[in-house]
């Protein structure tokens, strides 16, 4: 190893160690990263339940632990997102190429910008009071996703967030089209306005949110949505439960779910099952959604993700169930860059071509 | 090793669980519930069956529908046709006769000013499907045929349900075509109940405007005044009583109070709480 590279390695290691020690109960990213490392979502993200902007530890971890190779640039300090003690920024860009095959229809292939999101955080009182914004600026014009103020207790165990937030429920997967995210209606496209109280201890992470229950739209009734997520975290496994009740004029919606993860050698397994009762239909519907995912980190910088999903849109109707299977290769060639290639195979009732589509995609994902 | 085997077995157990679809329509519903036919055609019932219900309502349904846009069967027409977009208020979601100026088409074709292409993060609708929706709009965005089983006209409040923000429209839909000449001063009144300041809504004056979004069925929208609605509690009253009652083209007064008999005022109470 060249001396300069070794020095940079030592510097990175020392920096990582400092950040780890300074953020004892806060670290994560995609759920399988957190499960692999035995850490919590808040370890790597500003938001307590994950997703969005990475904190200093998350930025350094993503640059050092994820990529197959790190390109060292001498005399340039490592990016941490912090522009000053008060201001931090971040972002994500996902550009896709996709090929979609829907039975009995012409195939589609296109290049697309899935999203460009920018994050900003202003720390007004160190480790206590923070203002945060998550804005999707492309494609199209700007759309606000999250905007909140967070106040944390001195020991960092408790926090209160108020504003527009992603709701706490289940695994916060990157893929909003996963059945467990699409059917529950809790994903990156449907932040809601309200307040959240959170608890973080060494082995527990819990959030309770009270929101309008309108998916980011204006309030339309007296009812509110209550969402609860609690997770018990151990080094090799974790288990959690979620519940949500949306008391809406259009019909109440109850959701209960359980989720878990376990690491077996280089493979991280994720699972979630949700049961939803929805009164907004003319007749009450009971739905099931489930996911099992294996993430095989077979080599540094490489992950193979295999996912099987299940969706029963109406428990009272037979033969309407849907499956989705995904195989995705994720490659982090260098820091700040992820390349993905994969296939998603939908398997639904034969008379619905859309439920039987096949999607093949490649994606370039830049993040900072 | 045991955990890996268990998880693998669970994965295998999940596979092969897709329904056979026996006895169901293309939306996975029992055939007796089916409407709209097997082939997508340029009418809302068909578009609802083949596009909105199977592809959009996983997200755009119920109270938590993104940006308040519900595309459930029965409400999609009133939420779309002649309704201003939330993301781009200068555009209507569906402008009858003008698909190029319809924000719905912008969202489906990926040319919208704001936000991602719909279906979000999913495959774009086939060009043929969008072409059918364009055709429906170009042909006037007609409403589905009405189930006017009742002998008297009735009204339903589409928006607000109980509350709304200061710049939103009040939207009321009838189950048939109403006599538009009666939708004017004297028949529609809005009262700010916390101030008891009653005033008539007259189109063209410096007061909130009545917009006839659709004739068949009649969809009435009441636009906010310049600067938006003031915060407070409101009561909207549409007259179903003599001497000046809102009526259909056969001069049957609306069944405003829902007792199955012509007559009675339609009353909608709501609050304006949020300002933008």
Residues 6 or more apart from B205 whose CB is under 8 A from it?
none
Window 54-113 of A: residues touching B by CB (8 A cutoff) are 98, 100, 102, 105-106, 108, 110, 112
Tokens coding A230: 């609690």
- CA atoms of A267 and B38, how far apart (whole Å): 45
Contacts of B20 in chain A (CB under 8 A): 319, 349-350
What residues form DSSP beta bridges with A286?
Answer: A277
> What pLDDT sits at residue A112?
86
Of the candidates A278, A235, A34, A145, which has an alpha carbon nearest to the alpha carbon of residue B62?
A278
> What pLDDT sits at residue B36?
52
Quote the minimal CA–CA distance from A5 to chain B in Å.
39
Provide the edge-to-edge strand list for the sheet that holds B155-159.
Answer: B155-159, B170-174, B219-222, B210-214
How many other C-beta atoms lie within 10 A of the C-beta of residue B30?
15
Which pLDDT band, with edges at 50, 70 and 90, does B65 fall under? confident
Kindly report the pTM of this predicted structure.
0.70
Query: A234 to each of A9, A230, B68, B109, B149, how far by Cα in Å?
Result: 29, 13, 40, 46, 62
Q: How far is CA A265 from the centre of its chain?
A: 23
Which pLDDT band, with edges at 50, 70 and 90, does B274 fall under? low
What residues form DSSP beta bridges with A113?
Answer: A95
Average pLDDT for chain A:
88
- CA atoms of A187 and A172, how far apart (whole Å): 7
The full set of domains in chain A, from first to last, is 3-367 (2.40.160.10)
The label of the residue with tokens 């932040």 reads A191
- CA atoms of A310 and A290, how far apart (whole Å): 5
Window 286-305 of A: residues touching B by CB (8 A cutoff) are 290, 292, 294
Please give the residue that has the higher pLDDT: either B97 or A134: A134
**CB contact (8 A) between residue B62 and residue A250:** yes
- CA atoms of A227 and B232, how far apart (whole Å): 29
Contact A349, B19 (CB under 8 A): yes
Mutate to test the interface with B, among A94, A107, A114, A218 (most CBs of B within 10 A): A218
Looking from the CA of B202 toward its CB, the CA atoms found within 13 Å total 8
Q: Which of B7, B19, B168 sits opposite A218 (nearest CB)?
A: B168
Contact A242, A260 (CB under 8 A): no
Which pLDDT band, with edges at 50, 70 and 90, does A13 fall under? very low
- Which chain B residue has the Cα nearest residue A117? B115
Quote the minimal CA–CA distance from B244 to chain A in Å.
31
The label of the residue with tokens 């849907």 reads A322
Say whether A346 sits in a helix, a strand or coil: strand
Q: Are strands B266-274 and B163-165 parallel, antiparallel or unpaired?
A: parallel
With a pLDDT cut of 90, the percent of chain B lying above it is 6
Q: Convert the pLDDT of each residue in B76-110 to its tens digit.
A: 888 898 888 877 878 889 998 888 889 999 899 88
How many other C-beta atoms lie within 10 A of the C-beta of residue B213?
21
Say whether B206 sits in a helix, a strand or coil: coil
- CA atoms of A366 and A94, how far apart (whole Å): 7
Q: Convert the pLDDT of each residue in A113-123 to its tens digit.
A: 888 999 999 99
Which pLDDT band, with edges at 50, 70 and 90, does A70 fall under? very high
Quote the minimal CA–CA distance from B65 to chain A in Å.
6
- CA atoms of A83 and A56, how far apart (whole Å): 11
Q: Which of A221, A322, A359 sits opposite B63 (nearest CB)?
A: A221
Which pLDDT band, with edges at 50, 70 and 90, does B11 fall under? low
Which pLDDT band, with edges at 50, 70 and 90, does A200 fall under? very high
**CB contact (8 A) between residue B64 and residue A185:** yes
Q: Which of B10, B61, B127 sits opposite A280 (nearest CB)?
A: B61
Contact A127, A111 (CB under 8 A): no
Q: Convert the pLDDT of each residue in B148-176 to its tens digit.
A: 556 788 888 877 767 777 777 788 888 88
Query: A128 to each of B13, B83, B103, how far by Cα in Å?
Result: 47, 44, 43
Which pLDDT band, with edges at 50, 70 and 90, does A248 fall under? confident
Residue A20 has pLDDT above 50, yes or no: no
The label of the residue with tokens 């080599």 reads A299
**CB contact (8 A) between residue B120 and residue A309:** no
Please give the residue that has the higher pLDDT: either A11 or A73: A73
Which pLDDT band, with edges at 50, 70 and 90, does A12 fall under? very low
Contacts of B163 in chain A (CB under 8 A): 218-222
The most confident of the ranges A95-99, A276-280, B265-269 is A95-99
Q: How far is CA A154 from the centre of its chain?
A: 27
- CA atoms of B263 and B240, how far apart (whole Å): 5
Say whether A20 sits in a helix, a strand or coil: helix
- What sign does the CA torsion over B130, B136, B140, B146 have? negative
Element (H, E) at B45: helix B44-47
> What pLDDT sits at residue B160?
77
Element (H, E) at B77: helix B76-80
How many other C-beta atoms lie within 10 A of the C-beta of residue A260?
18
What residues form DSSP beta bridges with A92?
Answer: A117, A367
- CA atoms of A44 and A334, how far apart (whole Å): 19
- CA atoms of A160 and A257, how far apart (whole Å): 24
Say whether B126 sits in a helix, a strand or coil: coil
Which pLDDT band, with edges at 50, 70 and 90, does A46 fall under? very high
Residue A15 has pLDDT above 50, yes or no: no
**CB contact (8 A) between residue B63 and residue A185:** no
């Amino acid at each position: 190893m060249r001396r300069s590279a070794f020095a940079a390695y030592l510097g990175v290691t020392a920096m990582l160690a400092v950040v780890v020690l300074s953020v004892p109960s806060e670290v994560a990213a995609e759920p399988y990263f957190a499960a692999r490392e035995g850490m919590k979502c808040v370890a790597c993200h500003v938001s307590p339940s994950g997703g969005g902007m990475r904190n200093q530890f998350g930025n350094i971890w993503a640059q050092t632990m994820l990529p197959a190779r790190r390109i060292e640039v001498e005399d340039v300090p490592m990016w941490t997102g912090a522009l000053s003690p008060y201001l931090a920024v971040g972002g994500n860009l996902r550009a896709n190429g996709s090929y979609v095959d829907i039975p009995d229809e012409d195939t589609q292939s296109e290049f697309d910008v899935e999203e460009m999101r920018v994050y900003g955080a202003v720390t007004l009182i160190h480790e206590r009071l923070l203002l945060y914004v998550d804005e999707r600026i492309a494609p199209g014009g700007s759309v606000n996703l999250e905007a909140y103020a967070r106040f944390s207790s001195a020991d960092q165990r408790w926090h209160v967030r108020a504003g527009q937030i992603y709701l706490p429920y289940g695994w916060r997967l990157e893929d909003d089209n996963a059945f467990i995210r699409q059917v529950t209606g809790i994903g990156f496209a449907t932040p809601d306005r309200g307040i959240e109280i959170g608890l973080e201890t060494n082995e527990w992470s819990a959030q309770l949110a009270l929101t309008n229950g309108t998916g980011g739209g204006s309030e339309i009734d007296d009812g509110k949505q209550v969402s609860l997520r609690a997770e018990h975290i151990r080094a090799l496994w974790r288990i959690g439960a979620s519940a949500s009740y949306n008391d809406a004029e259009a019909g109440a919606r109850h959701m209960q779910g359980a989720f878990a993860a376990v690491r077996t050698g280089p493979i991280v397994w994720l699972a979630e099952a949700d049961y939803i009762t929805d009164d907004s239909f003319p007749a009450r519907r009971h739905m099931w959604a489930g996911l099992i995912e294996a993430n095989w980190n077979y080599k540094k910088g490489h992950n193979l993700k295999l996912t099987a999903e299940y969706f029963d849109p109406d428990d009272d109707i037979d033969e309407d169930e849907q499956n989705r299977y995904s195989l995705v290769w994720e490659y982090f060639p260098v820091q700040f860059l992820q390349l993905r290639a994969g296939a998603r195979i939908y398997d639904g009732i034969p008379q619905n071509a859309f439920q039987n589509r096949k999607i093949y995609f490649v994606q370039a994902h830049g993040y900072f | 090793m045991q955990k890996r085997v268990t998880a693998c077995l669970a994965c295998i157990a999940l596979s092969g669980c897709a329904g056979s679809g026996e006895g169901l329509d293309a939306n996975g519903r029992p055939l007796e519930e089916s409407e709209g036919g097997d082939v997508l055609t340029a009418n809302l019932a068909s578009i609802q069956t083949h596009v909105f219900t199977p592809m959009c309502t996983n997200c755009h349904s119920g109270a938590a529908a993104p940006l308040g846009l519900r595309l459930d069967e029965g409400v999609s027409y009133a939420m779309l046709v002649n309704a201003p977009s939330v993301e781009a208020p200068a555009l209507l979601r569906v402008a009858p006769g003008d698909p190029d100026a319809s924000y719905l088409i912008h969202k489906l074709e990926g040319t919208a000013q704001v936000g991602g292409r719909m279906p979000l993060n999913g495959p774009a609708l086939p060009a043929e499907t969008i072409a059918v929706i364009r055709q429906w709009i170009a042909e006037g965005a007609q409403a589905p045929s009405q189930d006017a089983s009742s002998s008297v006209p009735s009204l339903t409040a589409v928006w607000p349900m109980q509350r709304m923000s200061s710049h939103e429209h009040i939207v009321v839909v009838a189950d048939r075509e109403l006599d538009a000449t009666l939708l004017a001063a004297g028949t529609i009144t809005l009262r700010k109940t916390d101030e008891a300041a009653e005033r008539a809504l007259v189109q063209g004056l410096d007061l909130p405007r009545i917009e006839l979004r659709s004739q068949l069925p009649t969809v009435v929208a009441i636009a906010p005044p310049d600067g938006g609605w003031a915060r407070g509690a409101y009561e909207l009253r549409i007259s179903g009583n003599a001497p000046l009652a809102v009526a259909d083209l056969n001069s049957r007064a609306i069944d405003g109070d829902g007792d199955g008999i012509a007559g009675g005022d339609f009353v909608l109470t709501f609050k304006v709480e949020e300002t933008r």
